[in-house]
Structure 1
Amino acid sequence: MFNGSRLGGTLIVVLAALVPTCFAGWLVWQSLNGSGEPSEKTSAAPARSGEGNGEDAGDGEKRDGKPGGKSGGNGRHKEPPESEEPLTGMTVVLDPGHNPGNSEHVDKISRRVDIGTAKKECDTTGTATNSGYPEAKFTLDLARRARTALEARGARVKLTHEGDVPYGPCVDERARKGNEAKADAVVSLHADGAPSGSRGFHVILPASVREGEADTRRITAPSRRLGGDLRDAFREATGERPANYLGDGEGLDTRGDLGGLNLSKVPKVFLECGNMRDARDASRLTSAKWRTKAADGITRGIEAFLTANR
């Protein structure tokens, strides 16, 4: 039979014994951690990005101590992957060959300028396809596409002209623009005007010359490396073969009669992207889709050269 009176008395005795003990424990806890929130030494601040692997990136700073960019929601700076902008800090000059307005200023572009080894025309009109698509229009479009791709990789890109001047610039001024920019690489873009049946692309390298204002001795070796990287990347991106009408079929040609190369003080090459007078080459040069591939090849070639020579 249940005896409620006896049980109630037992509970009272137990509670009377426990209350002093609990009260003493509460006093000890309060003295150690008064407010009930985490103490300063045990702060729950988010771990910094380097923690756990022996590195410390710092709050809102990159590992090199420079101020960080935008922070994420946790207050930590998030650095982009190293491969995202591999050309940061590098300067590239693209030289779109000729100018759409040259044909209207023949008297001005025909004047002679000093290229060190000789005197040559300020510029020429360039060539065109049989259907009338001009080289100058092709090179300007290609340069703009390549600029976009290079800038996406972090490069600082300058064009020798935007088609916004009446004619030129002259070949000596084109070289000067690359020199003044202290470019890490310069690529002059062209398309050839060889007889039909002559197909393919090639890269023109500077010969070693020293005469007058021309002195390429310091740039011939790096220019050759630039040319080789550009040739390989362009071939891979476009599927085009090196020119079948000059050199040894390797796609590299060395010349000492071009003012844009002779007067350069920085690594520089010319890229002849194909033959506008050949119907099969012309069908590619006039294709916007193909020019996107070509711009990718140019970008990858320049990137290969610059990242190998950092």
Structure 2
Amino acid sequence: MLVTFAALVPTALAAWLVWQVVSGPGESEPPKVLPAPGQSSTVSPSPQDGTASTSPAPSKSEERSASPSKSKASKASKAPAKPAGGSGPLRGKVVVIDPGHNPGNFQHASEINRSVNVGNGSKECDTTGTSTNAGYTEARFTLDVAKRMRTTLERQGATVQLTQDGGRAWGPCVDERARIGNSAKADAVVSVHADGSGEGNRGFHVILPASVRAGAADTTPIVKPSRDLGERIAGNYLKATGQAPSNYVGGGTGLDTRSDLGGLNLSKVPKVFIECGNMRDSQDVGRLTSGAWRQKAAQGISEGIVSFLGG
């Protein structure tokens, strides 16, 4: 049974301040992806399993997205979630989990590189994401954590939908990811990621939607509830995993507000991203590549969602 940690955030924030005194100030700007020294900036899929080889990490611009396609690949994500009929504190609640990227994106460069409108600009449909130096990809990480979250939340009675569960060839695009949450009338949406910054940059951060009103984007109604969701996730994630807030984004708070992510700009329901750690830092990698630790990550994010939904 999950425990609701509604009162955890103030404690967690106090812990962040203590940690920040030890580790120094973080940067306020989002990091750029840096390849490891002496290595190329492209990850090649392995011929055996379609995941990355030991050549690391392409730049991850954002997310992540894919506009709707008429191919079989896109049809799997279109059915809206229906309220759960099971018992539990989240009975009747709908949660959409968005595993960042897709393991198959490496083989579909033309599809994921095309531009989609995100309200106040345009972004790539999706990206390949980053990877560890040893070739463990962000797409594999996010899908694993998302499936663990689904199991945890369904046990609480929630109806859970993933934007992709590994059954489609690529994507979806960032605008489609937003539409999936909107169509489901989700009570909460969380997009799961891992960062690709440089060695020495470590820790997690939760990305909140900025106030954006442009084109199809109007985040005004979701800014406040999304912040509440993000703060609860940050506090519970810190408690469950022991992962410190980012020392390079968010000024030690573990929170970052952005206006350039289509998955947030186009959302009509409360939504946040979480960068669970940095896949390019040797200390964080030890956690991100551990199945036992990924279970803690899934638990912490899920407990934040439960707290937000009042379960």
Matched, 1:182 2:185: yes
Mapped partners of 1:285, 1:199: distance in 2: 11
Mapped partners of 1:163, 1:260: distance in 2: 19
Q: Which residue of 2 aligns with 1:129?
A: 132
Mapped partners of 2:235, 2:157: distance in 1: 22
Q: Which residue of 2 aligns with 1:271?
A: 274
Matched, 1:172 2:167: no
Give unpaired runs (5+ residues) of structure 1: 1-83
Task: Please give the residue correspondences for 1:91-240 in structure 2 after superposition, counting only pairs within 5 Å.
Answer: 91-240=94-243
Contact in 1 for aligned 2:152/2:302 (Cα 8 Å): yes
Q: Which residue of 2 aligns with 1:244?
A: 247
Displaced runs of 4 or more, over 6 A: none
Matched residue type, 1:198: N
Which of 247, 254, 260 is the aligned partner of 2:263?
A: 260
RMSD of aligned residue pairs (Cα, Å)? 0.8
Give deviations 1:29-55, integer Å, cap 9, x for gaps: xxxxxxxxxxxxxxxxxxxxxxxxxxx
Q: Which residue of 2 aligns with 1:7?
A: none
Q: Which residue of 2 aligns with 1:304?
A: 307
Contact in 1 for aligned 2:193/2:274 (Cα 8 Å): yes
What is the percent sequence identity of the aligned residues? Answer: 64
TM-score, normalization by structure 2: 0.72
CA displacement at 1:163 relative to structure 2: 1.1
Matched, 1:281 2:279: no
Mapped partners of 1:190, 1:158: distance in 2: 17
Mapped partners of 1:204, 1:246: distance in 2: 10
Mapped partners of 2:189, 2:151: distance in 1: 16
1:254 partner SS: strand
2:250 partner SS: coil
Mapped partners of 1:187, 1:247: distance in 2: 18
Which of 282, 291, 295 is the aligned partner of 2:294?
A: 291
CA displacement at 1:246 relative to structure 2: 1.3
CA displacement at 1:85 relative to structure 2: 1.4
1:187 partner SS: strand
1:218 partner SS: helix
Mapped partners of 1:305, 1:162: distance in 2: 24
Mapped partners of 2:305, 2:225: distance in 1: 12
Contact in 1 for aligned 2:205/2:250 (Cα 8 Å): no
TM-score, normalization by structure 1: 0.72
Matched residue type, 1:134: T
Give unpaired runs (5+ residues) of structure 2: 1-86
1:248 partner SS: helix
